[in-house]
Amino acid sequence: MTQASTSDPQLDVVVIGAGFAGLYALYKLRDGLGLRTRVFEAGDGVGGTWYWNRYPGARCDSESYIYSYSFSRELEQEWLWSSKYPEQPEILRYLDHVADRFDLRRDIVLGARVRSAHYDDAVPCWRIETERGERVSARFLVTAVGCLSAANVPQIPGLDRFEGRWVHTGQWPAEGVDFAEKRVGLIGTGSTGIQATPRIAAVARQLTVFQRTPNYTIPARNRALTAADWDEIKAIYPEIRQRARDGRAGFPFTLAGERALDFSEEERNSVYEALWQEGGFKFLYASFGDILRDKAANETASEFVRQKIRAIVKDPEIARRLCPTDHPYGSKRPPIDSDYFQTYNRENVTLVDLRESPLVEITATGIRTQDAEHPVDLIVFATGFDAMTGSLLRMDVRGSDGRRLADAWEAGPKTYLGLQTAGFPNLFTITGPGSPSVLVNMPVAIEQHVDWIADCIAHMGRSGLTRIEARPDAQDAWVEHVNAAARETLFYEAKSWYLGCNIPGKPEVFMPYVGGQAAYRDRCDAVARADYAGFALRP
Ligand code: FAD
Ligand code: NAP
């Protein structure tokens, strides 16, 4: 494999990260615009999320045929996903294939974590330095560092004394982890813990799940995609893609408009039951239009899921602990699962409710809660990420006049359209805070951002402009709009990572934009048409 030389002097663009976003950014900027572009990636391979998250049961929960790129008709036609929700190795194979097919690797430097990125007003350019000492300068900096890429290992007293092994799901060892005959403690019941639980339980001697907040999850009902499915999809692929782009959440299906409480309980439950049987995200998006806005409407969906939990889980006491009652369905990122609740019927699985018996410490041989010590040989942290801002702020990013991004975002991230921050010229963020991002089927959001950024840089080239920066007034208005939009929803009803609540000390600000992907795209396009209104452009 050829890797780029790191001694080149000046580049047009540096991209940080080689996941879905970084790979497409490289293709678009290098091959589309002919810019000298280089990608720095911390991992030893491309793929981002799908390089790092190799835990058992890791799979997408957007349907595969739309959890993929749409920029190349040929790629789209030649790739066949095995199932609706393929597992991590298959998604990583796809991204590796993309890197090879478009000859991207020669401009990607692997194993190169960017330590700092400083804007040099004098040249002007961005100066980028990696942890192993590579230095480059570039006219533009594009961060494609991922919204869910900064692993969160909670500070639990005693972890350093633990004599067994511990792993975080987002930094899973490539060689895998052997659970056979082990007593495993799994902390966390978000999407990741919910995917991993059944798979670990099937192999381990004993699995103890430590749950802080019970979660609603809908069955995935994964199935193989047949030749007939593919004939159907490929015949209308462009139309499916367009529907996804025009959708609120980046999915091609029709979103529900009706209000839940306009129907009788029986009618509502038959809608929920049909979607429960179908599986996946449609339960949230295609049931009723107000379940993320109206608490009473939401309660009908929440209670439907609780009833399912009570029906599936045989021990009523365990079912009670698994039933979420402290937040509305969908106010945390909703997981989808394969046999999650069923797993609690197994003899070798124990559920520890950390609300009833809080976690105290990790001992040499186990996990101690207020009531008991649970002996474990291996601890799996399914404790999520410092989401949306973590990977950006773990770098030392300084803009004009040496201003630190960490200071600019001290009270929470501030951006204009999620794309730029005032004071940080020529720095673009893909799916950054203030954009629909994680509320959307992400390849749709990523492609829209990369296309917009590429069009903007091309426009600057044509017009003899070299510097673009968000105007503070436009940024303030956008931040206010993002907050106001979130306040109309139920998203503030949960202590979620959307709000930064999972990281002690992180400002509580709703980070993604809830206005919907299509409306957001239209807004970005209108801004571009109006000579990039809200941005200051200079020769
Ligand atoms: P990432 O894939 O996270 O890539 C960012 C890359 O930047 C990483 O490789 C990282 O190493 C690198 N990086 C970060 N900091 C630095 C640095 N300082 N220097 C160098 N490199 C750096 N979304 C969906 O829409 N549908 C799904 O079904 C779905 N499933 C998911 C499943 C899991 C387990 C997880 C964790 C997330 C899932 N997501 C899903 C969200 C997922 O993150 C996005 O879909 C998508 O993969 C993001 O791509 P990205 O390129 O923006 O970021
Ligand atoms: P997460 O949703 O943040 O869940 C982390 C879990 O760990 C929560 O149950 C949390 O409890 C718990 N936790 C965190 N700190 C803890 C502590 N100190 N003590 C005890 N428990 C603690 O993380 P995730 O499950 O990795 O998922 C993150 C996101 O990645 C998802 O929301 C989704 O966007 C994406 N993802 C997607 C898929 C998929 O699409 N297939 C799969 C996995 C992940 P609290 O709830 O009480 O904070």
Full 3-state SS string of 467-489: EEEECHHHHHHHHHHHHHHHHCC
Dist CA 299 CA 291 (whole Å): 8
Residue nearest atom 48 of ligand 2, based on CA coordinates: 502
Which amino acid is residue 117, in one-letter code? Answer: A
Whether ligand 1 lies within 6 angstroms of the CB of 20 is answered as yes
In terms of residues, how long is the chain? 539
Question: How far is Cα of residue 237 from the mean position of the Cα atoms in its chain?
Answer: 24
Whether ligand 2 lies within 6 angstroms of the CB of 507 is answered as no
Report the residue among 159, 192, 195, 497 best suited for mutation to probe ligand 2: largest number of ligand atoms under 8 A from its CB.
192
What atom in ligand 2 is closest to the CA of residue 384? 23
Distance, CA 382 to ligand 2 centroid (Å)?
A: 6
Dist CA 52 CA 151 (whole Å): 10
pLDDT at residue 1, as a whole number = 32
Whether ligand 1 lies within 6 angstroms of the CB of 40 is answered as yes
Q: At 436, list the tokens.
A: 């629909």
Residue bearing tokens 């609780």: 306
Whether ligand 2 lies within 6 angstroms of the CB of 19 is answered as no
Residue bearing tokens 């990039």: 532
Distance, CA 1 to ligand 2 centroid (Å)?
A: 35
The answer to whether 203 touches 184, Cβ cutoff 8 Å, is no
Q: At 323, list the tokens.
A: 């039933």
Q: Among positive and negative, which fits the CA dihedral 5, 7, 12, 14?
A: positive
Whether ligand 1 lies within 6 angstroms of the CB of 497 is answered as no
Residue 177: count of CB within 10 angstroms of its CB: 17
Please report the beta strands in 110-181, taking only residues with DSSP state E, as ranges in sequence order.
114-120, 125-130, 135-143, 165-168
Distance, CA 509 to ligand 2 centroid (Å)?
A: 18
Dist CA 512 CA 248 (whole Å): 13
**Bridge pairing between strands 135-143 and 10-16:** parallel
Dist CA 278 CA 413 (whole Å): 38
Residue nearest atom 34 of ligand 2, based on CA coordinates: 333
Residue nearest atom 35 of ligand 2, based on CA coordinates: 191
Residue nearest atom 17 of ligand 2, based on CA coordinates: 154
Cis peptide before 198 (omega within 30 of 0): no
Dist CA 92 CA 60 (whole Å): 11
Q: Among positive and negative, which fits the CA dihedral 439, 445, 446, 452?
A: negative
Q: At 338, list the tokens.
A: 């394969």
Per DSSP, what are the bridge partners of residue 504? none
Closest Cα to residue 35, out of 45, 50, 25? Answer: 25
Distance, CA 142 to ligand 2 centroid (Å)?
A: 27
**Fold of the 11-150+387-538 domain:** FAD/NAD(P)-binding domain (3.50.50)
Alpha helices in 313-441 (DSSP H): 316-322, 340-343, 390-393, 405-408
Dist CA 256 CA 291 (whole Å): 10
pLDDT at residue 523, as a whole number = 98
Give the number of whichever ligand sits closest to the CA of residue 159: 2
How many Cα neighbours within 13 Å face the side chain of 284?
Answer: 25
pLDDT at residue 445, as a whole number = 98
The answer to whether 144 touches 40, Cβ cutoff 8 Å, is no
Whether ligand 1 lies within 6 angstroms of the CB of 115 is answered as no
Q: At 377, list the tokens.
A: 């040989």
Report mean pLDDT in 10-residue bins for the chain, 539 residues: 42 98 98 98 98 98 97 96 98 98 98 97 95 96 98 97 98 97 98 98 98 98 97 96 95 88 96 97 93 97 98 98 98 97 98 97 98 98 98 98 98 98 98 97 98 98 97 98 96 97 96 97 98 97
Which amino acid is residue 478, in one-letter code? Answer: W
Give the number of whichever ligand sits closest to the CA of residue 95: 1
Give the number of whichever ligand sits closest to the CA of residue 196: 2
Whether ligand 2 lies within 6 angstroms of the CB of 88 is answered as no
Dist CA 401 CA 406 (whole Å): 14
What atom in ligand 2 is closest to the CA of residue 187? 21
pLDDT at residue 4, as a whole number = 38
pLDDT at residue 257, as a whole number = 84
The answer to whether 350 touches 208, Cβ cutoff 8 Å, is yes
Q: What is the residue extent of each domain of the chain?
A: 11-150+387-538
The phi and psi torsions of 379 (rounded to 5 degrees) equal -115, 130
Cα–Cα distances in angstroms (integers) from residue 348 to residues 55, 150, 209, 212, in the given order: 20, 32, 11, 20
Report the residue among 428, 442, 517 best suited for mutation to probe ligand 1: largest number of ligand atoms under 8 A from its CB.
442
Residue nearest atom 49 of ligand 1, based on CA coordinates: 20
3-class secondary structure, 65 = coil
The structure's pTM equals: 0.97
Whether ligand 1 lies within 6 angstroms of the CB of 222 is answered as no
Give the number of whichever ligand sits closest to the CA of residue 41: 1
Distance, CA 82 to ligand 2 centroid (Å)?
A: 27
What atom in ligand 1 is closest to the CA of residue 23? 51
